[in-house]
Chains A and B, each alone.
Chain A
Amino acid sequence: MNIITDTALEKALDAKMNTTPLKMIGKDVSVYYGDKRALFDVNLNVRQNTVTALIGPSGCGKSTFLRCLNRMNDTIDHCRVTGLITLDEQNIYDSAIDVVELRARVGMVFQKPNPFPKSIYENVAYGPRIHGLARTKSEMDQIVESSLQKAGLFNEVKDRLNEPGTGLSGGQQQRLCIARAVAVSPEVILMDEPCSALDPIATARVEELIHELRANYTIVIVTHSMQQAARVSQRTAMFHMGNLVEENDTDKMFTNPDDQRTQDYIMGRFG
């Protein structure tokens, strides 16, 4: 009889985890807004087909780091990023990189659902169209349908694809934004507090969706809800005052973290 001890099982799981390929690598990443330094030499890797949660108090730099991963910080004046960030071993801050193409590969979903003031169909079709992903109307129909399917929204909206996206409920709008992000076949999806404006049921739907999307995408999520981070992610990174304090398996992070600051934060204690 084979007896797998807990430690043997743990080691096997660790080994599996450790062999998960790295989709993105962040090395000595620092960010400055003018003279103010927002991130201090952060070394954080994103594993493929893994949900990585970034947690920490407001102003800790977690959203700043997230926005570095698809160069959203480029849009902010006076913002300077140093260090190295790679996607599939390619430096995304290299001058040869096409930022528009990068953002198609590394999509983003924001805190507040922000559908375009267009029809549901057009919201999803917009990205594929500007990236030239569909040659015919039927190809586009295909992309729109499958994207809405993946976002778990298709059945709810299939009879009103031409109605405005802004007419949907908050939770549906957020899933529409996820469908929009998925439509351009990204490899990585960044989510910046995707559920903070949603009610618990819509939140549960989005969390279920994150769980399903993980099979095909790599996901990085910033969340203020510790419980959400614990539920949806496999890896968790804790930021504090611009530093990466601890990165660990999520199960370990929320039951027995290594760092005192993580401990205080997740337990809601004074530091």
Chain B
Amino acid sequence: MWKTIIRRVLVMIPQLFVLSLLIFIMAKFMPGDPFTGMITPDTDPARIEELRQEAGFYDPWYQQYFNWIMNAANGDFGKSYTYKVAVADLIGDRALNTLWLSLLSVFLLYLIAIPLGVLAGRYQNSFLDKIVVLYSFISYAIPVFVLALIFLFFFGYKLQWFPTSGTVDIKYDSGTIGYLWSKIYHILLPAITFALLGTTGVIQYLRTEVIDAKSMDYVRTARSKGIPINKVYTKHIFRNSLLPIAAFLGFTITGLLGGSIFIETIFGYPGMGQLFIQSISGRDYSVITALVMLFGFTTLLGSLLSDIIMSIVDPRIRID
């Protein structure tokens, strides 16, 4: 297994190289540059030119690419033109925020979706099943920004149950219980919003899998042993039905870093999604390229992680 993992990681190097080249070229093709926004009627065009020279804008593209990739390999993605801080630091802060929010979101998502999916599948065509299917279709049809705005308005603004923006209350010192609680309190509403709308896939997959599994031969064998029906569900049907969900788990985990642009923007939560959209509109090349590189890397990692998870839960799949 370790051999496979190392081999897979080595294969990732050429994949990352191609990815970085594509990202670099596409970033270069984007119109405008960070200095475009600085131009005012009083700006001396010569000064702008000078800045561009300094930033290396007129070097040949391969030279620029080489500089960038070598620095990136050392963890230096340059400085953000907008925030004037090192990109690595900027992303580091945001990534942590996003990670907390995403972890809670995904936890709530599975907490809602797994029981509903299993119950809907078990009691197929019952009233409960119809309600669950209805819920999953409605939640799939509602755009995230609509529900996010509604929740923000009612629970944040009208009822004032939840804070409407930020990651933590400033009155707490870092490291205290109050600080931790305040952090969780701030991510609760965005996480619930995300979880409620993200359940469709998991519910539908599980429901279908449970319905399929019910008529499987091994379930009939289990029933012929005289095992109580609840045990048949927990020991035989449930685990087999979770396989497709497990197949996505790697991507889900690494995908957590990507954050949600809508949720973060609407709830004023400074995470990766928000950073990404801001860096694009601000032509903040160094941040964009670093983020896309990171997302690409986590996707590759996610597929590896999925394979490892699958090989753990399904004995028929062995990676060696």
Are A and B a genuine interacting pair, yes or no? no
Interface residue ranges, A against B (CB under 8 Å): none
Interface residue ranges, B against A (CB under 8 Å): none
